[in-house]
Amino acid sequence: MIRLPFFTPRESPIAALYGDIVAASRAPDAFRHFGVADDFEGRFERLAIVATLVLRRLRALGGEAEPLAQALVDRLFEDLDDGLRRAGVSDLAVGKRVKKLAQGFYGRAEAYTAALEAGEDALREVLARNLMSGRIAPADIHPGLLAEIEAWRHRLDAADLGSLLAGTTLSGD
């Protein structure tokens, strides 16, 4: 089959950024060493944390980054929708599940944003409640998890829009 360049689908400007978010959220240390459950809820919570950090940065950049923030959220929910369909959830149920996930995501984003602004104790509290599903006390949050979040935050705070869209900001490449 001959592929002509003008028939090749173009990547959206947020494809690399979304890939960076997914890769960071699936870092094995979180599941192997930090106590995050390697199940749908644990992976969703990790995705919510990383996406929240990126969305905070996009909002801070303002201007042309703002519509990209919405495109990023749209891409995230398209991916969740696709994942549910691949998992065998019926077409009728997918919409309801995605709506519930959206409510959960926005609630988590609000809680993580507030906790990031309030400091480490608040972050430990929200991580224990959401990411760890209440299985551990806030004081028992693994220090490596806190260091990972702080490293993401530091790299994102230093990133311009071009480096975010290159998709290497979270990994530090």
In a domain, 112, yes or no: yes
In a domain, 3, yes or no: no
pLDDT tens column, 85-134: 888 888 888 888 889 988 999 999 999 999 999 999 999 999 999 999 99
CA gap 132, 41 in Å, rounded: 9
Give the residue numbers spanning the domain of 140: 13-26+36-166
Q: Is the pLDDT of residue 153 over 70?
A: yes
C-beta atoms surrounding 123 within 10 Å: 23
CB 77 within 8 A of CB 102: yes
In a domain, 31, yes or no: no
In a domain, 69, yes or no: yes
pLDDT tens column, 10-49: 567 888 999 999 999 999 999 999 999 999 899 999 999 9
| Rg value, the chain, Cα | 17
In a domain, 54, yes or no: yes
Q: Is the pLDDT of residue 7 over 50?
A: no
Q: Is the pTM above the cut of 0.85?
A: yes
- pLDDT band for position 173 (50/70/90)? low
In a domain, 152, yes or no: yes
- The domain tally of the chain equals 1
State mean pLDDT over 166-170. Answer: 87
In a domain, 44, yes or no: yes
